[in-house]
Each structure stands twice: as structure tokens, then as C-alpha cells.
Copies of this chain bind each other. A is one copy, B any other.
Amino acid sequence: MNIDTCRFCPVRLQGVCGDLPTPEITLAPAPVQVMAAGQDLFSQGEPCRQVFMILDGWVCLYELLEDGRRQILHFALPGDIVGFRPDSRSSPFGAQALSQVCLCPISRSRLVEAAQANAGLAFRLACMLYDDGAEAYERLTSIGRKTALERVATLLLELFYRLRRRVPLSRGETLQIPLTQTHIADAVGLTAVHVNRMLGLLRQKGVIEYGNGVFRILAPSRLFEIAGADAQVMAGRPAEPMSRHLHSSSSCIQAGPLSH
């Protein structure tokens, strides 16, 4: 069952498993798991024994303050793992499904053991963690130093490029994003009302179109300018983040079309 699951894993080479020989893939003893949108994979402060690899759908990591203020830390896409910790203490943040998601649960302790024994695996893990950190840094300068309009534009571009890396967008520049404006607000440190105004402004400028969870980028170059020049970094990136470049997977991965 596991072996079979792994053999057909849609994100096999993108994820931590990488090119582990099939018989060695004992990372995932539990069967694939499906969760509905809105469910928590794990909650803030929970012990968190499972690491989840996302096979399909979107997940966000978030942190809550006592009075209910929420910060979204990261949007995780298929191929990403969430919930990894080197130790077994409780997680300082929670993880919530933004759409229906399909997950491959991995025992944390098992993954840690395997990583301590297998340099390739540990290094892939390090690369994924590096990517997460680099993304967090980008978001930090966005939230810390950019205006509301710039922040919203930056987030759209970030999602745009991250999605594009996985799925070559076919017609035009359309993003299927399962986010409400409140999600966007919590990710960029604004209120939903103000995010709405900024989106309206972008729409009015003819830079984007949206409705129904579908965003269409009409003028990527203008979005670029608006987002601030450091966003050029994103465009400079290769089609896949570096963690994907490390193993031999030359070209095998084609994620199917997103269809939430």
C-alpha cells in the first residue's frame, strides 16, 4: 500500500523523499489523508507528531495572538512539507487547510531518524528549510518596509511565480487562488477592508482582474513596478526553487492542472 502510494506520488521528486529508492520509503507509514477546507492539520501549541507533505491543495501556517489577531506566515503548496521540527516540542504556529487538501502524513521522529542517517535526505530537508526561510525574509521586508499597495502586489506576484514554477500557466496569466481577502490581509499585515481597496485599485488600473477566487494578471510588468524592484529577484529565479534542483529529477514532474 505504501509502496504503491509512493510509486504514484504526484510530488515524489519534488518533496523530501526525493530519489530515495522505493523500498526505502518507509517515511510514510500512514495512508494518504484528505481534509476539508478550514480544518486544522495541527493547531498552535499542539505537540505535532506528524509532518505533512502536501500532495494537493493549499495550506497556510498561521500564528494567533491572544486577542485574536492573526498572522499568516506561509502558504504551502503541493510538494511542500509543513510541521517539521527537529525536536518534539509543540509548534508555535498552526496549519490550516485553505482548500480541500490531500496529505501524506509522515512520522516526525521517523523522518528525523532517517535524516540523521541519510545525508541526501537531510540535505534536501535543509534546502527546503532554506527556501522557507528565504521566503519569510522576503515577506519580512514586504511587511516591514512596503506600502499597502506594494505589499498586496508583492504577494500576488509571489504566489504567481510559485504556482507557475509548478504548473506552467497556460492561457494568459490566471491564478486559481483559494484565498479570501481576509487571508491576504492576514498574510501582508493589513485589514481586509484595506486589502479590498488595494485590490480595487489594481483592478481599476487595469493591472489585474479578479472574482471568484480567480485572479488574472493582465500586466505583469506593471505589477512588478508596483510591487517594488526587489521583486525582480523572483523573476530571476529559475523555474524551480533550488531544492528541486538537487536531485537527479531532470524533467519528470508535471503537476496536473489545479482544479479545486
Residue A220 interfacial (CB < 8 Å): no
* Number of copies of this chain that the complex holds: 2
Interface residue ranges of A187-205 to B (CB < 8 Å): 188-189
Interface residue ranges of A138-167 to B (CB < 8 Å): 138-141, 143-146
Q: Chain B contacts of A144 at CB under 8 A?
A: 71, 143, 186, 188-189
Residue A1 interfacial (CB < 8 Å): no
Please state if A126 and B122 are interface contacts (CB–CB under 8 Å): yes
Residue A10 interfacial (CB < 8 Å): no
Which of B61, B122, B138, B245 contacts A122, CB < 8 Å?
A: B122
Would A66 and B115 be within 8 Å (CB), given that A137-B92, A140-B73 are in contact?
A: no
Q: Chain B contacts of A189 at CB under 8 A?
A: 143-145
Of A209-217, A225-233, A251-259, the one contacting chain B is: A225-233
Please state if A242 and B133 are interface contacts (CB–CB under 8 Å): no
Q: Chain B contacts of A73 at CB under 8 A?
A: 137, 140-141
Q: For the complex, what is the distance from the CA of A205 to the CA of B75, rounded to whole Å? A: 39
Tally of contact residues, A, Cβ under 8 A:
56
Q: For the complex, what is the distance from the CA of A130 to the CA of B126, rounded to whole Å? A: 8
Residue A125 interfacial (CB < 8 Å): yes
Of A26-34, A83-91, A169-177, the one contacting chain B is: A83-91
Please state if A138 and B65 are interface contacts (CB–CB under 8 Å): no
Please state if B188 and A126 are interface contacts (CB–CB under 8 Å): no
Residue A127 interfacial (CB < 8 Å): yes
10 contacts between A and B (CB under 8 A): A63-B140, A71-B140, A73-B140, A85-B242, A115-B122, A117-B119, A119-B119, A126-B129, A129-B130, A143-B144
